[in-house]
Structure 1
C-alpha cells in the first residue's frame, strides 16, 4: 500500500514547536507523503526553522496577508496531490505508525472519513482520548471527540475538501458539513497522535470556543434555538469530560 498522503499544516508564529511537528512526520513508517505548510504571515522565525529541515516532500508556502487558519489550510488543499488528506497543526505531533495504521484501516474498510484516538499532553500525565466506532451528524454535533490532528479523508469517496471559512471553529464546522452531506466518520480507537494545549491559543480558550461553536451552529448550520440548545448541552458536557475529568 503506497498511497500518497497530503498533510495539511497551517503555521503562524510557530517557531517553538513546528520543528517537533515536522520530525514526527519524518518519522512515519508510511513514507509516501507530502507536507504542505502554509505560513499565515508569521512574525517570528517559523520560516527559518522550517527551511532548515531539508526534504523535498516538505513544501512551504506563505500567504500574502494574514488571513486565518481556514484560508491557510485551503491554500494547501488547492496544492495537494494525494487523494488521501490528513491534517496536522503546527504544535501537535503524530506517533510514528499514525499514517500506516490509519491508511490500512481506511483501505480495509472502504472508509472515506476517519479519525483516531489521541493523547492530550499535560502536566501530571497525558490523558488518552478514546473514540467511538462511528459518528453521524447528530452524534457529532453533541460531541467534541474528532481531533483535527487525527482526521484523514479519502477524496475519491468524500469528494473535494475545503475548510468552512469562519475565523473560529472552522474545522468542526467542516466535519459537520461533511457529515450533514451524508458521510459517516469512522473512529480508529487507538491513540496515534499528541495534542499540545498551548496557553493563549484559540483552541485552548474553552469559553471562546464554546461561544464560537454556538454562533456557528446558528449561523453556519442554521439550526433552530431549541435544536442548538439540545446539541449544546451535550457539547459542553462532553467537552468537560474530555478536558477536565
Structure 2
C-alpha cells in the first residue's frame, strides 16, 4: 500500500530470532556483516550500525565514497534530535525486543521515508546501548526504488518536527535547527525554489556546521547568487 513499514512490521512479528536486521531491497551486505554485528549485540549492545559504500546508478560501479554514520553520544536521544539521523537503515541490526517495546515502525503515511529515524528516536528513549561499528560492511545503491525526493523530504521534516516539537523547540533547538535548516534548504534548492532555499541555508551559515556541510551550504548559496544575478533579481 505504499507504506514500507507495513511489510516490515509483518516481518518483525513473524521473526523467531532475537535480533532483527534491516536491508532495503536495492542494498546489500558484505559476507561478514552479520558476524560483526552479532559480536557487539552478544556483548550487550542493543542497536548496532555502520557505514555503507555508495554504488553508482550506472553499471553498479562502487564509488570511493561512503554513506557515513557517526558515533552517537549519550544521551542518544538528544544527539539524534540535535544532530539528525546517524544510522543507515540497511546497516542496522537490533534486538527484536526493542522494536516490540516501541510498537514497531510507524505506519503513518506522513512518515514514509523517515519512519526509520522516528524508530531510532523512540528506541533511544528506552536504551542508550547504541554502537557504531567502525567498519564498512555493506553497499548503498543510489538509484532504483528509493522513496525519498525533495518534496517528500520537506513534508516529512515538517511532520517529524511537529511530532517532537517540545524537543526541537526546547534547550537543544539552537543546535537542532541547523541540520533541519540544511535539509530544508537543500530540498528547496533541488526543487529550484531558490528564495526559500536561500532563507534556510543562511540559517545554517550562521551556525557552526561541519566542514563538509559548510562547503555544500556556501556552494549552494553561491549558485543561487549567480542565478539571481542572471535573472536580474
Aligned counterpart, 1:196: 141
Aligned positions of 1:84-163 closer than 5 A: 84-108=19-43, 110-122=44-56, 125-135=63-73, 136-141=76-81, 142-156=83-97, 158=98, 160=100, 162-163=104-105
Question: Which one has the largest radius of gyration?
Answer: 2
Which of the two has greater strand per residue?
A: 1
Provide the alpha-carbon RMSD of the alignment: 2.9
Query: C-alpha offsets along residues 80-128 of structure 1, whole Å, 9 cap, x if unaligned?
Result: 11111100011111111110111112223x1011111112223682412
TM-score, scaled relative to structure 1? 0.61
Judging changes above 3 Å, is the alpha-carbon distance between structure 1 residues 230 and 166 closer, same or farther for their aligned structure 2 residues?
A: farther
Spell out the pairing of 1:4-153 with structure 2 (5 A cutoff): 66=1, 68-108=3-43, 110-122=44-56, 125-135=63-73, 136-141=76-81, 142-153=83-94
Structure with higher helix content: 2
**Contact 1:87–1:150 under 8 Å retained in 2:** yes
TM-score under structure 2 length normalisation: 0.64
Aligned partners of 2:68, 2:168: CA distance in 1, in Å? 30
Between the aligned partners of 2:168 and 2:79, the Cα distance in structure 1 is: 18
Distance 1:224 1:179, change over 3 A: closer
> What residue in structure 1 maps to residue 106 of structure 2?
164
